[in-house]
Structure 1
Amino acid sequence: MSSKLVVAGVGMIPFKKPGTSAGYGEMGAEAIRLALADAGMPYDLIQQAYAGYVYGDSTCGQAALYRIGATGIPVLNVNNNCASGSSALFLARQAVESGAVECALAFGFEEMQPGALASRWSDREGALAKFSAIAEPMVSDAVEAGVPRALTLFGGAGREHMQKYGTKFETFAKVRAKASRHAEHNELAIFRKVLTTQDVVNDVQVWPNVLTRLMACPPTCGAAAAIICTEAFAKKHNLRTDVRIFAQAMTTDVPSSFEPASMIRLVGFDMARKAAQAVYEASGVSPEDVDVCELHDCFAQNELLTYESLGFCPEGGGEKFVDDGDNTYGGQVVTNPSGGLLSKGHPLGATGLAQCYELTNQLRGSTGKRQVEGARIALQHNLGLGGACVVTMFGRG
């Protein structure tokens, strides 16, 4: 990047089960207040704002932000499926890096409904129609059994990995059990009970020998926010400069996502790898240098796939990576010290910014019992089918 960009402040509220949270406006506003307080700055220094959410009417971002104040700044609403929060972060970073503004706010929120994700529109073709059409012949048994679409897509990718590389069903259970151990010390996570691998294996099988209920992240409600500014702006206003964005990339699907047909490629493996490679090249940081990573573990299967797409291990090496303990404390890279989506849940618009919140605090050394000792380089991966993938490299300033 041509100029030093810093994360001046972050805020996040505890995630809650659907039906038990405040409304999106109150949640979003509280996350923004927390980010402003963390930065130690007044709202009138914010020059642009980007709001990420999926299930809401137009201008929900303004409705949340106006609870803080109406200053006339540009407010843009971002819907990029599960990558909406990090897409808002991408746009805020881009605005600051380009010189359009010196300080921008990214925030995200979601009021979710119980149960599997579903389209709210039944009178038009869905955005994932192409994905479903390609996937259906490969996961016909799940479709016929009425397994929800997201579960068939990511579960199908996991099954393909099992068939192609001999990965064991229990390996995905190990990933989920690891998430629970990490979440035990995260007061903002909704599920903090420590699980064993056998607990996960013995849970309700929503797709026999492919996916148990505990391997899927639950829908939750929540909000998070981040303030991005130039280093010069931060110093001028006595803001923190200790966490920087080293590089960031956003990708969408590439031809190999669709042809030849592969469930692994269909759920974003190649666009994630492309974004990660761009970030490594731009930052001069290699996968081996990363100390801590928050990645998009919407399903335990996707976490294992993402180890490979981010270059932490070779393709097909995900099971060994798990078995060697390279995904947790004392290993190669601590993945999802927050507990990830599997433990926090997944309020779509908030997820990417919740990842930013965790990594910023990890680099500050302020996460208590879940602190990754000596963390200096952090990687974020946030994925949305349809598709979009944002990968961000953070580091100590």
Structure 2
Amino acid sequence: MLRSHKIALDPNKQQATYFSKASGVARFAYNWGLAEWKRQYEAGEKPTHASLRRQLNAIKREQFPWMLEVTKNAPQMALIHLGDAFQRFFRGVAKYPTFKKKGIHDRFTLTNDQFSVRGKCIRVPNLGWVRMREALRFSGKIMSATVSRKADKWFVSITVDTDDAPSMCENQAMVGVDLGVNRLATMSDGTRIQGAKPHKALLNRLRRLSRSLSRKQKGSKTRAKVKLKLAKLHAKVANIRNDELHKLTTRLASQYGVIVIENLNVKGMMANHRLARAVGDMGFHEFRRQLVYKTKIRGGQLIVVDRWFASSKICSECGTKQESMPLSVREWTCSKCSSLHDRDLNASKNLIKWAVSSTVTACGEDVRPANIEAASVKQEFNVKPTYE
């Protein structure tokens, strides 16, 4: 099992400068490879990352001697990542690769023969030992390491092929989880998670720094300082959101054998300018991404219900469907059985009923309507999810 551990680094000024140079070399190699790929493809050739690596190795000593100041892995792995990006594009699961911009996702990757880990230190080629904030959690064969920058901090993500697996889910209980912009999650057992909403909480500070940055002269030291402050604040927002999502998804994957969620149209919701900020602040896509891999490694099952299922409009007690249900309605009474419902709690209960009455053929597959009176079908667990 491949697992990654992201650890904060504590480099000195010389080491931080080296990381910046290596990231710059990786970015240059990626952009050079992308431009060369386009040129060769338009000329009728069939470029590959291997051919681009050979081509770059043949010319870099004369044309780009500054590349030799950092590890050879920086440009090599960048071209391999470019090849992977084109493979995803040709498979139709990603857009066409674009050029990388300085200061955005600065990173470089090392293969396992180019670094070593000892305690709370990692040895990087041409640099020496760099302190890490904590030791590697997993034992096993180290596969690779990626050094990246977020705001003004450096991190290393070490991938290990390990047999150390997290504890399996405690039971096979089923839970429905309804996501919303007012409350992050409402579970069918009545648990409600409000959500930190870090972007909303820090919005005034973000706006103030953004206005200050727009007034600074480009290229000035003052602008660079304000830009760094803004980047650190954005990183803080992301860290708060990710921390809450990781705690919630780990709790769900550990306590429940079957988790049912709705296939939300996040892209469509983000297109609504009235909802976009609130939706982005909750992190719906990241919530689902984490649940996919956490349920898989813990032996659980994630069921994703069809997005057209009217979970909020159907009475979870008698099954009567209401004609309309505006978003402003948070509580409603069933016209047939007179049951009083909380909108989100009712939806989460309906998600479970839908999953139970439907045929599940694979972990993570979208569930389609099925006849409630049909004979029961054996459900499959621990199957690779189809969600990308």
Q: TM-score, normalised by structure 1?
A: 0.23
**Greater radius of gyration (CA):** 2
Q: TM-score, normalised by structure 2?
A: 0.24
Identify which of structures 1 and 2 has the higher relative contact order when contacts are C-alpha pairs closer than 8 Å and 6+ apart: 1
